Structure 1
Amino acid sequence: MPPANRPEKKSSLANKILKQLPLADKTAVWGTLGTIRPLLSFEVARDVQSLLDAVTDKVVEYGTIINLLTNRTNGQRQQVAEGFQDFTQQDLLKTLRAAVSGNLETAVLGLLRPAAQYDAHEIKAAMKSPEGGATLAEILCTRTNQQLQEMLDFYKHDFKLDLEADIAVSGTDSFFKDLLLALIKTSRERYSGVIDYILIEQDAKDLVHASGGETGRLDERKWIGILTQRSPEHLNRVFSLYHKMTGLQLEEAVAKFFQGDAQVAGLTLVSVLRNAPLYFAIRLRQAVKGPGANHRTLIRILISRSETDLLSIRAEFRKQYGISLYSFIRAETKGNYRAILLGLCKAEDL
């Protein structure tokens, strides 16, 4: 076979293997689908000295900083930050911030903050941006009830403001505003393992009626109530029944009935409920290649999913675009910024 044909065959074989992988919808037996797991040989004092040496030499040792931050969990990084403060009487975040810049600085700051605090600061930045609707939808639609509550606490502590009040007085349209407010109330039900067919049918009918049904009027509050309170397992059955009743996938219905930020938030929520890793895979590519590309989004997703489901996202990215996320990042970025992103991504998917 000519050499030029070999990559194509390899790619085809890889796609077949990927289709058999359960990464997108099952939890691995070892408990996490993240690329970053606790370092077993972790020693705070050693890490503190390594970082101190990296920033006090004549030339900043970027490789040391990147390697350390991308091979420790968030919890371990917080211990290192505390140890650095105790040993030097200096704030590690401020120290490293003075040593790095640009996208690398954004990534370093994201890695050093507790996850919920990082979310709070990303939310605050999005609130100030005219294009922040997608970021608000991404964060608020993809965090657990506990993560949302912790984020709300950090938001209030760091900014001396209440996020619910900030959203209430924002200039966003009513559906988008009401959806965000409903999400931060952290009232989504947990799946009990019992399939409630009566409620599934009722919710599907309610969505049909809320879409215009017999009245011809869109009932936004009914949409919000169902999408923000029911468990993902329940809602996926509702979505299937809605499709049978109307001929529309729920994503098609959202695109048809809503506009602007309301449509973005609705599509985000439905996409996450269906297949969160696929949603993030698409969002990652858009962050680099799509209209309004934003590397801050690329950084945020890699950091926020690195301890939960980045392996699943990598698998979905490979299936969706025919290239590994690792190769995509390597081709689209450069320098120390590329190194820290690849450190989070970890490996190729062949």
Structure 2
Amino acid sequence: MALSNGNPAPSLTQEILGQLGLANKTAAWGTLGTLRTFLSFSVDKDVQRLLRAITGQGVDRGAIVDVLTNRSREQRQLISRAFQERTQQDLLRSLQAALSGHLERIVVSLLQPAAQLDAQELRTALKASGSAEDVAVEILATRAPAQLQACLALYKHDFQVEAEEDIKSTTSGILQDLLLALAKGGRDSYSGIIDYNLADQDVQALLQAEGPSTEGPWVLIFTQRNPEHLNRVFDQYQRCTGQEVEEAVQNRFHGDARDALLSLASVIRNTALYFADKLHRALQEAEPNYQVLMRILVSRSETDLLSIRAEFKKKFGKSLYSSLQESVKGDCQPALLALCRAEDI
């Protein structure tokens, strides 16, 4: 097998991430993640192990999975740079040449900067028919402000167009308004102070927005208020009307806009449960939706995958780990199980 020559990760990518304070993030932000910074980390040993895995007799997939799923994303970036310096080969391209199928896609996801992976997933969703309201809401609504900013900066760099322009050209109506509002990243941060007057005003605004062309308050409130405030608004709305806000959305909206608002409400109520539901649906399909499984397990492995696992077990009565074991086949199974990490008894 010949290794292909490649270039190091684009310097602009590192520059953008560095300016946003994401290039050197530590494990402190991933306390609810399944994957932490590897304490006995030796970049030289990892480079040598990966080199042996792809140049020996046959590809050692187990070694590749073991290294990449036991290192933080920051450590994987260090391995990539060291591999380039020592071998004059690009690690990502070398592994792509050695692997195929779903395992290759997982490895690519693990080795890319998180913002770059988000940008690519967002672009694919906006360009693919019928997935904008699902994947775009997931990325735009669940990333921290700095992560979203980095994603949109790399979107512009990689695709030579602003994400907002693609949103405008591929969506319309309320869905477009929602995605554009989310992409602005203008959601209020929680100050710790409960604003009862604003909660009352928001509930009244939702109640009064019942006629034609009165979707504005729904979009504004769902995309601008912080989750703590919104959960109070949702509870108060139910007390006033006798129905949950999700039921009102079902009756009030249609199609993609309804689905996007329901997804957004789910994120607001319980982000970990939102992801648990998505993973369960992906596993229930006749053929597991590997794209969804990979995107969520990779993107949440250093953030809140422990919480997602707990919600999965609580709602579905079976652990995520066991569900993956039963449904996922092929050489990508060990990688997904390694990211999930452990059985929940």
On whether the aligned pair clears a TM of 0.5, the verdict is yes
Matched, 1:147 2:147: yes
Moved over 3 A (4+): 290-293
- Partner residue in 1 for 2:206: 207
Counting aligned pairs with the same residue, the percent is: 52
Distance 1:197 1:166 in 2: 38
- Partner residue in 2 for 1:12: none
The offset of 1:334, in angstroms, is: 2.2
* Kept in 2: contact 1:35–1:307 (CA 8 A): yes
- Aligned Cα RMSD in Å? 1.6
Supply the AA of the counterpart residue of 2:112: R
Distance 1:139 1:30, change over 3 A: closer
- Partner residue in 1 for 2:90: 91
Matched, 1:192 2:191: yes
Distance 1:30 1:178, change over 3 A: closer
2:303 to 304, 308, 315: 308
Distance 2:158 2:111 in 1: 15
Distance 1:292 1:331 in 2: 12
- Partner residue in 2 for 1:51: 50
* Kept in 1: contact 2:30–2:302 (CA 8 A): no
SS of structure 1 residue aligned to 2:40: coil
* Kept in 1: contact 2:142–2:267 (CA 8 A): yes
2:235 to 222, 233, 240: 240
Distance 1:54 1:31 in 2: 29
Distance 1:292 1:324 in 2: 19
Distance 1:341 1:348 in 2: 13
Supply the AA of the counterpart residue of 1:86: E
1:162-181 map, 5 Å:
162-170=162-170, 172-181=171-180
Describe the superposition over 1:117-149 as per-residue Cα deviations: whole angstroms up to 9, x where unpaired. 100011111122113221112111211211110
* Kept in 1: contact 2:141–2:267 (CA 8 A): yes
- Partner residue in 2 for 1:282: 277
Q: Which runs of no fewer than 5 residues in structure 1 stay unpaired?
A: 1-28
Supply the AA of the counterpart residue of 2:198: L
- Partner residue in 1 for 2:331: 336
Distance 1:293 1:219, change over 3 A: farther
Distance 1:107 1:31, change over 3 A: closer
Describe the superposition over 1:11-53 as per-residue Cα deviations: whole angstroms up to 9, x where unpaired. xxxxxxxxxxxxxxxxxx9971100000011111111111111
Q: Which runs of no fewer than 5 residues in structure 2 stay unpaired?
A: 1-27
* Kept in 1: contact 2:137–2:260 (CA 8 A): yes
The offset of 1:217, in angstroms, is: 2.8
Distance 1:34 1:326, change over 3 A: same
Farther off after superposition, 58-67 or 253-262: 253-262
* Kept in 1: contact 2:283–2:289 (CA 8 A): yes
Distance 1:253 1:273 in 2: 16
* Kept in 1: contact 2:283–2:323 (CA 8 A): no
1:317 to 307, 312, 322: 312
The offset of 1:290, in angstroms, is: 4.0
- Partner residue in 2 for 1:156: 156
Matched, 1:101 2:100: yes
SS of structure 1 residue aligned to 2:332: helix
- The TM-score normalised by the length of structure 1 is 0.88
Distance 1:315 1:155 in 2: 33
Distance 1:227 1:128 in 2: 24
Matched, 1:39 2:38: yes
Matched, 1:267 2:262: yes
The offset of 1:339, in angstroms, is: 0.2
Count of residues paired in the alignment: 317
- Partner residue in 1 for 2:219: 224
Farther off after superposition, 136-145 or 315-324: 136-145
Matched, 1:347 2:329: no
The offset of 1:247, in angstroms, is: 1.5
Distance 1:146 1:72, change over 3 A: same
Distance 1:30 1:276 in 2: 16
Distance 1:69 1:250 in 2: 42
